[in-house]
Structure 1
């Protein structure tokens, strides 16, 4: 057994414990969480640490196969420019791609991440995931805005999904502006039986809403750039998420990612539908691409499961959930660290369906242990760091 004592222990399933003690076995399984007045029986040595102990982090949105694009794409250019640059740079030497994926996997491990929801368009990450110390669920992402291509795109996704098995894997739409109604319907039919988690990029920029409402904005240039004829598409007179929610299954959990330009009307619209929706925030990537964050305060206490992600190294300088928490707390200081740690741990584990093992310090779980230092009371500071304990 190993026992760790810290200024506070955040078990997540209960209130923070001042001068808490966490005891684990050699496999990292939680034996007990107590306070200093009730030290664990049989503990020969208790390691005393300064800071907060919390469970390992869950990163619900990443693109490890884009890791080789770090520092390749300029910041603040907007989503349309980012998509163009990503497509221009992503086809690189396979060895460089593989090495970058492996390095990204290690970086997440070192930053206390224990589980990842990872977007894949290729089979490049299979080998790294197979030997990783992290839990991965892979979202095989579909692109196809032309109705006539829907069946072919879907069949290719099914084939790629088969390559990932027996790893945890599902088929998902990329975004409202890149998936036709016909392709959405094929994914919905596939999702009616069995398990098929969904993760969709949602409202990353105002141009997405402009396109759906009026068929105007920067996406017209994007389709022209890629030679896609969208003459068939008719404006929907409402925002993108309102247009696609009816196309989603109510049999599967759905993660709406980014939500940079989601407003209160969109949130209320989603609440009217019988859909299992969670939201994921990737604030550092939103600032990198669009220069702004979502209006996170709108989502609080609305009854939705809120999670955190890092996005890719194409749009972020690190893969670190604590960096995302720090960015949110700086912008929204009223949000407590207790709440933000829930978003970065148990809420992500719930969405991925692994909360029986990860996300909180319940006895019997193997969630990993992180130590957060450099705090001002229970507030993060620019000096705050995370260290993986186990």
Structure 2
């Protein structure tokens, strides 16, 4: 069997740097065989000018919106962004499918190996079935009016069944698909878009699964729950959505909905731009009480694109939160690149060590999506993908850095 040997300026194994004098050995298909000292590796070593790391995990993406790249202007604010998504997302199916293929190709080129992908329909199913990337598909459910809860949930069940069919088909061809597994589960869209009745319908389906929810992406979300006023009320009015069923809780949105996630195994809170310290304390306490793993998903480029704000990353770090990274969609980002997300974080938070951010982008993301048995670290026998990141500056990723997939 042929083996590949790589060394670089450093090797990051998913949790820590191993130093520049190490060599990683893989089979031709990317299975990790060993990490050994350079002195024991012989001469057949590809010496690279960069950091070698496991493939990136994109923990939050909307691949089905790839056709909307550049359509929505920046800095609209979230409620107006949502209005534009609702009103402008309808394109001919062939255009959407072509953009899905291009979006996946862009992620492959960006060193991404696994994706937590939000799906409101099954248009991404055919591409996912090709097995180019591993996917956890979050079948997203929304519906603010109680009168549409039953229809929305029935539609979500149908979409989930379509993804479960391709998962079953993949399991019948283990040689082709064991490398890039497919999983799926239900996920509520956001606190401001799910009625109490719809919550009750989906809650039993959370048990033992990973659940993702858009959380506190804008201050308007907290205003809706504390006071019943603000830009989301304006958004509902413009969409002719009756709000009489909703009563403000007098609390921020997170404590208002979080108990309804208690059956989930893993919880991904996405965006968190206006999450307070008290909110974090509440979520951390309740998730521990229910033996859940809680992940805070950062999509900083999308936050800047939509609201021109950044999440409280230093507060999350001070709270010892488990952080993962996502790209959101091409409707709210210029590219589907985890490296670009790290570059933006580095620009605004230069004191955060690269070692820490790389763990967010690899092992943490794999654990969040329950894919750590294969992805996220250089464990012997795993096939996590091997990437190299170049053009470092002072042991940190620079704006000139690029990423390349090695295997």
Is TM-score (shorter-chain normalized) higher than 0.5? yes
Which residue pairs with 2:10 in the alignment? Answer: 8
Which residue pairs with 1:36 in the alignment? Answer: 38
1:256 aligns with 2:255: no
CA displacement at 1:5 relative to structure 2: 1.1
Which residue pairs with 2:141 in the alignment? Answer: 142
Which residue pairs with 1:325 in the alignment? Answer: 342
Q: Which runs of 5+ in 2 are unaligned?
A: 168-181
Residues 110-129 of structure 1: pairs in structure 2 closer than 5 A: 110-129=109-128
Q: Secondary structure at the match of 1:222?
A: helix
Q: Which runs of 5+ in 1 are unaligned?
A: none
Which residue pairs with 2:73 in the alignment? Answer: 74
Residue pair 2:107, 2:336 contacting (<8 A) in 1 also = yes
Which residue pairs with 2:24 in the alignment? Answer: 22
CA displacement at 1:151 relative to structure 2: 2.7
Residues 288-307 of structure 1: pairs in structure 2 closer than 5 A: 288-307=305-324
Residue pair 1:123, 1:164 contacting (<8 A) in 2 also = yes
CA displacement at 1:44 relative to structure 2: 5.8
Which residue pairs with 2:98 in the alignment? Answer: 99
- Which region of structure 1 is more displaced relative to structure 2, 163-172 or 12-21? 12-21
Question: How far does the alpha carbon of each residue in 1:67-119 deviate from its partner, in whole angstroms, 9 at most, with x for none?
Answer: 00000000011001110111121100111100000000010001000000000
- Between the aligned partners of 1:181 and 1:253, the Cα distance in structure 2 is 22
Residue pair 1:184, 1:248 contacting (<8 A) in 2 also = no
Give RMSD over aligned pairs: 1.3
Which residue pairs with 1:266 in the alignment? Answer: 279
Match of 2:401 among 374, 384, 389: 384
1:50 aligns with 2:65: no
Match of 1:179 among 188, 194, 197: 194
Residue pair 1:117, 1:136 contacting (<8 A) in 2 also = yes
- Between the aligned partners of 2:198 and 2:279, the Cα distance in structure 1 is 23
Residues 147-162 of structure 1: pairs in structure 2 closer than 5 A: 147-162=146-161
Change (3 A) 1:303 1:182: farther
Residue pair 2:10, 2:17 contacting (<8 A) in 1 also = no
- Between the aligned partners of 1:307 and 1:334, the Cα distance in structure 2 is 18
Residues 207-226 of structure 1: pairs in structure 2 closer than 5 A: 207-226=220-239
Which residue pairs with 2:375 in the alignment? Answer: 358
- Between the aligned partners of 2:241 and 2:296, the Cα distance in structure 1 is 30
- Between the aligned partners of 1:229 and 1:287, the Cα distance in structure 2 is 31
Residue pair 1:67, 1:100 contacting (<8 A) in 2 also = yes
CA displacement at 1:245 relative to structure 2: 0.8
- Between the aligned partners of 1:89 and 1:20, the Cα distance in structure 2 is 51
CA displacement at 1:242 relative to structure 2: 1.1
Match of 1:311 among 304, 328, 338: 328
Q: TM-score if structure 2 supplies the norm length?
A: 0.92
Residue pair 2:273, 2:303 contacting (<8 A) in 1 also = yes
Question: How far does the alpha carbon of each residue in 1:122-173 deviate from its partner, in whole angstroms, 9 at most, with x for none?
Answer: 1110000000310011111011112233233222211110011124111110
Residue pair 2:15, 2:355 contacting (<8 A) in 1 also = no
- Between the aligned partners of 1:72 and 1:382, the Cα distance in structure 2 is 25
CA displacement at 1:185 relative to structure 2: 2.1
